[in-house]
Amino acid sequence: MMLLIVTPLVVATQNPGKFSELQATLAGLSWELLLMPEGLEIAETGDTFLANACLKASKVAEATGHWAIADDSGLVVDALDGAPGIYSARYGQTDLERIQRLLNELGDEPQRAAHFVCVMALADSTGRIVAQAEGVCSGEILRAPRGKGGFGYDPIFYLPEREQTFAELTPEEKHQISHRGRAVQALLPKLRALP
């Protein structure tokens, strides 16, 4: 009988939406996903998605003594010169406030192209970054929210080829095409080969 060795992997987030997306995507691998300990705060001081992802993965691994995976992701809106970008989570106090601020800033702007970016970083138990990957999903910003699923900007992020917002997709559909899903897919070969 083969003994399956499961390695703890701390997900550097307190966001339950991100955690459950990763759980679903990494199911079946020899990693036991753990939520980042409460009270552990990592300031996102980097000026890029990659810098923030590496910073979070490294600091969480050092603090817990376990492997850690982190992502930094956000919405990049062309007409707003890339805003909210790395500040997507801090664009308001709640999802509703963030969405409203974005819609107010876009106003009647006809060019509503946008893309979600996700950069993931994997750190070993010493905090050394051993792998990274990026995923991008392009779409456009609607003038009003649609759909009840997802989180964050999902209700206003529209995918023309599907004629749906992220919030109208099933979780499984979203995992397949989202920026985070694409970043995880790019990282999967490295995760399978480790630790």
Q: Report yes or no on 1 lying in a domain.
A: no
Question: How far is residue 66's CA from residue 187's CA, in Å, rounded to a whole number?
Answer: 18
Question: For the whole model, what pTM was predicted?
Answer: 0.87
Q: Report yes or no on 113 lying in a domain.
A: yes
Q: Report yes or no on 34 lying in a domain.
A: yes
Question: How far is residue 148's CA from residue 182's CA, in Å, rounded to a whole number?
Answer: 22
Residue of 71, 72, 95, 154 marked catalytic? 72
> Alpha helix (H) ranges present in the chain?
16-26, 49-64, 95-106, 171-177, 179-193
Dump pLDDT digits (tens) for 106-161: 999 999 999 999 999 999 999 999 999 999 999 999 999 999 988 899 999 999 99
Mean pLDDT for the chain?
Answer: 91
Dump pLDDT digits (tens) for 167-180: 999 988 888 898 98
Looking at the DSSP assignment, which residues form a beta bridge with residue 117? 74, 136
The Cβ of residue 167 has, within 10 Å, a number of other Cβ atoms equal to 20
Q: Report yes or no on 2 lying in a domain.
A: no
Q: Report yes or no on 85 lying in a domain.
A: yes
Write down the pLDDT at residue 31: 86
Q: Report yes or no on 147 lying in a domain.
A: yes
CATH code of the domain covering residue 91: 3.90.950.10
Active-site residue 95, yes or no? Answer: no
184, containing H or E segment: helix 179-193
pLDDT band at residue 4 using 50, 70 and 90 as cut-offs: low
Query: Structurally, how many domains does the chain consist of?
Result: 1
Question: How far is residue 119's CA from residue 128's CA, in Å, rounded to a whole number?
Answer: 16
Q: Report yes or no on 46 lying in a domain.
A: yes
Closest among 189, 180, 72, 84 to 135, alpha carbons compared: 180
Domain that holds residue 83: 7-193
Cβ contact 26:91 at 8 Å: no
